[in-house]
Amino acid sequence: MKNTVKVLRERKNMTQAELAERSGLSLRTVQRIEAGNIPKGFTLKAIAGALETEPENLISAEDRPNIDRAKLINLSALSGLIIPYGGIIFPLILTYKTKDPVNRELGKNIVSIQIILAGIVSVLMMISPFIQKALSVKIPFFLIFLIAFLCIKLMVVIKNGICLNKNGDLCIKLKTSFL
């Protein structure tokens, strides 16, 4: 980040003070950004506007978090399609072996969703014989719940995988993680 802003500023033959004036930021903020602080939100847009470039061009690949581990954690949730509660156990192991705080937080969100899904399907599987008996139907309700669960789980993993690739964040997550 520091080199990108400095290179673009020097290409435009601007001083730090001129960049600060054009962007509406303080000189100290411009100095901090060139020293290596990563701007967010308004600051990033203001610097990009003053340098006449897109905000994405200012953030280099090394400044973006590496979310490959989060993608692996998300894919490991599919093990729950084969192994009961495998969609919780394997992602949980991968999450807590991860050192990166961004991937760990993404992993906690993934595991939280999987715990909710497993809890719901467990309760539905336990009450399905009673529902079946009460409604006097011949088709086994537990199969309907099981197939619906597998489809929902697959949909959640695919949707979160797509969002991780595009945005680097999850689309389907809880407001607050309980892990």
Of all residues in the chain, what percent carry a pLDDT higher than 90?
Answer: 59
- pLDDT value of residue 92: 95
Q: pTM for the complete prediction?
A: 0.65
Q: Which helix (H) or strand (E) holds 84?
A: none
pLDDT digits (tens, 9 = 90+) for 72-119: 999 999 998 999 899 999 999 999 999 888 899 999 999 999 999 999
Q: What is the mean pLDDT of the chain?
A: 89
DSSP one-letter string for 15-46? -HHHHHHHHT--HHHHHHHHHTPPP-THHHHH
pLDDT digits (tens, 9 = 90+) for 128-168: 999 999 999 888 888 999 999 999 999 999 999 999 998 88
Domains of the chain in sequence order: 2-58 (1.10.260.40), 68-167 (no CATH)
- pLDDT value of residue 178: 80
- pLDDT value of residue 1: 47
State how far the alpha carbon of 95 is from the alpha carbons of 50, 75, 106, in Å. 40, 12, 8
Span 28-37, mean pLDDT? 87
- pLDDT value of residue 126: 94
